Copies of this chain bind each other. A is one copy, B any other.
Amino acid sequence: MTHVFDEATAVEQVAPGTFRAHTHPAYNNMVGPFGGITAATVVAALQRHPEAQGHPLSLTINYAAPISEGAWDIAVTVLKTNRTNQHFTFLIDQGDGAVASGTAVFGTRRETWGDTEIAFPQVGTPEDYAEQPFPDFIEWAKNYETRFVTGSLNIDGPSDSSESTLWLRDKPARALDYPALASLADAFFPRAFLRRGTYLPAGTISLTTYFHASPAELDQQAGEHLLGTAVGARFGHGHFDQYAQLWGRNGTLLATTHQLVYFKDPKA
């Protein structure tokens, strides 16, 4: 049986370097599809590109307009292929103008000295925390099992902290790959919800993810929970940033990710 994530991120090359994808109702957000599934589909398309070399190192996607229900096309340009890395640009179009754009870098991973300098958060095991889903109207979140350590959407008023820390994984569980990691990197709802103690109109403008995991490190995660932690730095003037880390249960830092978000504050 095909996992719903694979259905949603399926792409078909319709012209050299152009891939067709389709929105999937299971990953709907309040307006248009969940940004994470769009990012994941881009990664899937880049990996399918006949000239692709190596594996994803970084992805930046800028969301310019909501994607409408139905087909959408990703036009990929291989900008430069170096000895150890490869640069891409891409445009997402639905026939009447671009709705998103971005860049990506793939690379060959060599064995070198390495260290993870930031610390794994002090938390219990996934089994220590009850499953706590997002509210029912957030369709895409039903595809994730979420066990919050702190900062769930069970909001009871404003908070001084925008931090969410949670164990999460695809639901049903699925082996981890780069598209899945790209999607999980956007599975943190807008930090302003916690600060303001309420849902607000908000949307990601720009999302950047750095993929630290090697293919072998992804394989090691299998279908286990990942630990995610996200926080904002500055809120104001209708925007805020948030940054997050995704860790393997085995302590491997798999990805770091940053985004700039637009928001409207009805209380302002």
A-side residues, CB < 8 A to B, are: 57-58, 60, 62, 64-65, 79-80, 82, 84-85, 87, 89, 91, 97-99, 101-103, 105, 107-118, 160-162, 195-196, 205-206, 208, 210, 212, 214, 231-239, 241, 243, 245, 253, 256, 258, 260, 262-265, 267-268
Shortest Cβ-Cβ A-B pairs, 6 listed:
A114-B236, A109-B237, A64-B80, A64-B87, A60-B60, A110-B238
A35 to B69, CA, bound (A): 40
B58 with A206: CB separation less than 8 A: yes
B205 with A208: CB separation less than 8 A: no
A212 with B238: CB separation less than 8 A: no
- Number of copies of this kind of chain in the complex: 2
18 further contact pairs, Cβ within 8 A, besides A84-B238, A112-B264, A243-B256: A58-B205, A62-B87, A64-B79, A79-B98, A80-B97, A85-B205, A101-B103, A103-B103, A105-B205, A113-B236, A114-B236, A116-B234, A117-B160, A118-B233, A118-B234, A206-B210, A233-B256, A258-B258
Contacts of A82 in B (CB 8 A): 64-65
Q: Quick one: which of B57, B117, B234 contacts A205, CB cutoff 8 A?
A: B57
Majority secondary structure of chain A interface residues (helix, strand, loop or mixed): strand
A195 to B113, CA, bound (A): 10
**In the complex, which residue of chain B has the Cβ closest to the Cβ of A102?**
B103
A253 to B160, CA, bound (A): 17
A239 with B118: CB separation less than 8 A: no
A212 with B195: CB separation less than 8 A: no
Q: Quick one: which of B85, B115, B256 contacts A236, CB cutoff 8 A?
A: B115
A117 with B162: CB separation less than 8 A: yes
